[in-house]
């Protein structure tokens, strides 16, 4: 398949570049593109609309923060040869523009107030303690992904949603499938649709018999305002932001701490505030590699590149979070660095609604893990670890540990 020409003779950037990693870090090629071309043309088939990779922190903030000039609606793909993707539009907050986005987000906002989240705090602490007990009973070696990183957010989200325990296994499976993308947006959206079908059926059951969790609350308070499909889309967005992403952060965050014993010791002793640690790990790891695609509503110049109406912009969160705006040596984990607002949760009206819930889980789980097992270490070598190769959410497939 031939590629669309790049402006001014510049070679287009490889299509999969924003999804590639070198261990936990973005590839050096992504850093090089951000330094030389913070907005660069991606190598896509000629029948597709032009796609721009945005890696500079200020440019990413400009795109994500402007819902008037940039749309999230996949219907913009109609007439581009990519109608199959447009037809699979899963809805929900991620692919919806204001004012519909505003209406739907307002429905969810009440479930993520400080008061509601504080009510969930004891459940988070109990889930973490139970999983640590289970690890201790199993004895080393233990796969930290399977026994801790995946179950903790799964049990928390199940509690938030009011998902029955019998559905937890399928819940985890649907979440994991959607993020293992081997370079195919079509495959990703197919997995999203499978997840949506499951969640729609779950919402239908809750409408008949509302539970005590988020789905039941929304149906009791707003049942006449929202359809099963709309509510499933909202639940899917929470699942996207609250399960697989947190699981990946827990596993990779633990790996970073295990590879830096001095930092782990400081976390155990409280010399490093856990709030600062979590924010730095979110920036450094940026497990959500790219934001939902944006479509230009108007012609403009961004990062010295001319963007036309209908062009697609793909914002690299992992690239933007390694920008020199974060100070000296942004490649290094430094919880004491000068604070700067990272983009791990996105930016603007589509910023992750469950950001504070994810933070609560990380602040609870990582210090508790290190304190329960003072001698925690990798059960093997870093070279033996298998990372996801091409995935919207970066992660490690297993993390054997001993103590």
CA distance 314 to 64: 10
Is residue 2 in a domain?
no
pLDDT tens per residue, range 44-79: 877 778 999 999 999 999 999 999 999 988 776 665
pLDDT at 172 over 80: no
Residue 286 pLDDT: 96
CB 317 within 8 A of CB 53: no
Confidence of residue 1 (pLDDT cuts 50, 70, 90): very low
Residues above pLDDT 90, as percent of the chain:
56
* Helix (H/G/I), strand (E/B), else coil: 8: helix
Q: Which of 189, 171, 118 is nearest to 357 (CA)?
A: 118
CB 161 within 8 A of CB 372: no
Confidence of residue 6 (pLDDT cuts 50, 70, 90): very low
Which range has highest mean pLDDT (71-80, 156-165, 326-335)? 326-335
CB 321 within 8 A of CB 280: no
Is residue 274 in a domain?
yes
Tokens of 364: 């609870």
Is residue 259 in a domain?
yes
Is residue 387 in a domain?
yes
Residue 147 pLDDT: 95
Residue 5 pLDDT: 43
Residue 109, class by beta-carbon neighbours within 10 Å (0-12 exposed, 13-18 middle, 19+ buried)? Answer: exposed
Is residue 204 in a domain?
yes
Distances in whole angstroms, Cα of residue 218 to Cα of each of 149, 206, 207, 213: 28, 10, 10, 9
pLDDT at 170 over 70: yes
CA distance 214 to 364: 22
Tokens of 147: 């026994």
Q: Is the dihedral of CA 385, 391, 392, 397 positive or negative?
A: negative
Where in the sequence is the domain holding 338, given as residue range(s)?
7-402
For residue 69, the domain's CATH number is 1.10.630.10
Is residue 320 in a domain?
yes
pLDDT tens per residue, range 176-209: 665 554 444 556 566 677 778 888 888 998 898 8
CA distance 175 to 361: 18
CA distance 362 to 386: 22
**Least-confidence region, from 95-99, 126-130, 286-290:** 95-99
Is residue 123 in a domain?
yes
Distances in whole angstroms, Cα of residue 277 to Cα of each of 75, 259, 280, 357, 364: 40, 15, 5, 16, 12
**Least-confidence region, from 108-117, 257-266, 377-386:** 108-117
CA distance 86 to 256: 39
With left for phi above 0 and alpha for psi between -120 and 50, is residue 205 left, alpha or beta?
A: alpha
Mean pLDDT, residues 227-252: 86
In the chain, the number of structural domains is: 1
CA distance 49 to 326: 33
Residues 6+ apart with CB under 8 A from 164: none
Residues 6+ apart with CB under 8 A from 246: 152, 153, 156, 358, 361, 362
Q: Looking at the whole model, is its pTM more than 0.85? A: yes
Torsion of CA 30, 36, 38, 44, to 10 degrees: -60
């Amino acid at each position: 398949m031939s590629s669309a020409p790049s402006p001014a003779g510049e070679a287009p950037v490889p299509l999969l570049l924003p999804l590639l990693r070198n261990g936990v870090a973005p590839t050096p090629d992504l850093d090089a593109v951000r330094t030389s071309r913070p907005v660069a043309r991606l190598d896509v088939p000629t029948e597709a609309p032009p796609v721009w990779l945005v890696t500079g922190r200020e440019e990413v903030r400009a795109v994500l923060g402007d819902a008037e000039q940039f749309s999230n609606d996949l219907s913009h793909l109609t007439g581009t040869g990519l109608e199959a993707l447009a037809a699979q539009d899963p809805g929900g907050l991620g692919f919806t523009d204001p004012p519909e986005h505003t209406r739907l987000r307002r429905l969810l906002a009440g479930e993520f107030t400080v008061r509601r989240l504080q009510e969930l705090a004891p459940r988070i602490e109990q889930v973490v303690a139970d999983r640590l007990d289970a690890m201790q009973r199993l004895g080393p070696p233990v796969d930290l992904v399977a026994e801790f990183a995946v179950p903790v957010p799964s049990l928390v989200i199940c509690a938030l949603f009011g998902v029955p325990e019998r559905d937890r296994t399928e819940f985890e499976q649907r979440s994991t499938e959607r993020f293992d993308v081997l370079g195919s947006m079509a495959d990703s959206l197919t997995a999203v649709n499978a997840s949506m079908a499951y969640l729609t059926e779950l919402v239908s059951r809750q409408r008949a018999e509302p539970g005590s969790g988020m789905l039941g609350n929304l149906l009791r308070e707003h049942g006449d305002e929202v359809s099963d499909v709309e509510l499933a889309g909202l639940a899917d967005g929470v699942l996207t932001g609250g399960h697989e992403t947190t699981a990946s952060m827990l596993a990779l965050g633990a790996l970073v701490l295990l590879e830096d014993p001095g930092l782990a010791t400081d976390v155990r002793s409280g010399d490093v505030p856990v709030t600062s640690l979590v924010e730095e790990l979110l920036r450094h790891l940026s497990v959500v590699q790219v934001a939902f695609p944006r479509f230009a509503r108007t012609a403009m110049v961004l990062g010295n590149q001319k963007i036309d109406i209908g062009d697609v912009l793909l914002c690299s969160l992992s690239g933007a979070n390694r920008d020199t705006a974060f100070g000296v040596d942004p490649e290094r984990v430094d919880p004491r660095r000068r604070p700067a607002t990272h983009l791990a949760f996105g930016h603007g009206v589509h910023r992750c609604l469950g950001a504070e819930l994810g933070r609560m889980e990380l602040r609870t789980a990582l210090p508790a893990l290190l304190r329960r097992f003072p001698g925690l270490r990798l059960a093997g070598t870093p070279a033996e670890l298998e990372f996801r190769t091409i995935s919207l959410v970066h992660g490690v497939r297993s993390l054997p540990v001993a103590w």
